Amino acid sequence: MAATNDAELELEIRRLGSESRADFHALMDGEEGCSWCCCVAWWVPSWEGFAERSAAENRELREALLDRGEYDGYLAYRGETPVAWCQVGPRDRLAKLVAEHDLAPDPGAFAITCFYVRAGDRRRGVSRALLRGVLADLERRSVARVEAFPRAEEELECGELWTGPRSLFVEHDFRVHAEGGRRILMVRELPGG
């Protein structure tokens, strides 16, 4: 398990693993959490019918993903308490994402697809620290290319920021690769790849 510390915010960034499965669920199920989605939006085949899925269906899908070893992200901890989540992993495993953006296969590309920060920790730099830790770990793992898919609009409500705001990725040296539609494709090449 990779861990990165952000001393300024007293955060530790850890890659999700079997030992942190309960922490993931504690964060998702917590106050104002993501218990309905359980961070499976990109894992279903299409957007059609997604809004009608139940929390139980999404939780069941998440459990199946974890059972097969899809530990697809990172948790930010303050002490032993998980306070934020970032979903990231090999891009081509997310068929809906690849199809929606008409992406050519690229087994080396990783995708950052979701952020969640618990309510009491928002607007305090937690997403920045989390992304910084994620990028440092991906570089250590020799990932060459990281892609992000923020909404195209600059002004968004909190509930629309689940893929991360464009400004966050600009701040971390992502460049716009393709525009069109509701989301843009931003890319960062990592020196470790």
Tens-place pLDDT, residues 142-184: 999 999 999 876 655 555 678 888 889 999 999 999 887 778 8
Nearest alpha carbon to residue 165 among 118, 91, 112: 112
Q: If DSSP codes are grouped into helix, strand and coil, which group holds residue 87?
A: strand
Q: Which of 117-121, 136-140, 149-153, 168-172 has the lowest mean pLDDT?
A: 149-153
Band the pLDDT of 110: cuts 50, 70, 90: very high
pLDDT tens-digit readout, 54-108: 999 999 999 999 999 999 999 999 999 999 999 999 999 999 999 988 999 999 9
Give domain limits for the chain.
3-189
The pLDDT value given to residue 67: 96
- Give the E-state strand segments of the chain in sequence order: 3-6, 11-15, 73-78, 81-90, 109-117, 145-148, 175-178, 185-189
Structure tokens at 56: 């139980």
CATH of domain 3-189: 3.40.630.30
Structure tokens at 184: 């843009």
Which residue would you say has higher pLDDT here, 4 or 50?
50
**Residues paired with residue 176 on neighbouring β-strands, in sequence order:** 186
- Single-letter code of the amino acid located at 32: E
Question: Residue 85 in contact with residue 73, Cβ under 8 Å?
Answer: yes
The pLDDT value given to residue 1: 45
Nearest alpha carbon to residue 127 among 190, 91, 173, 74: 74
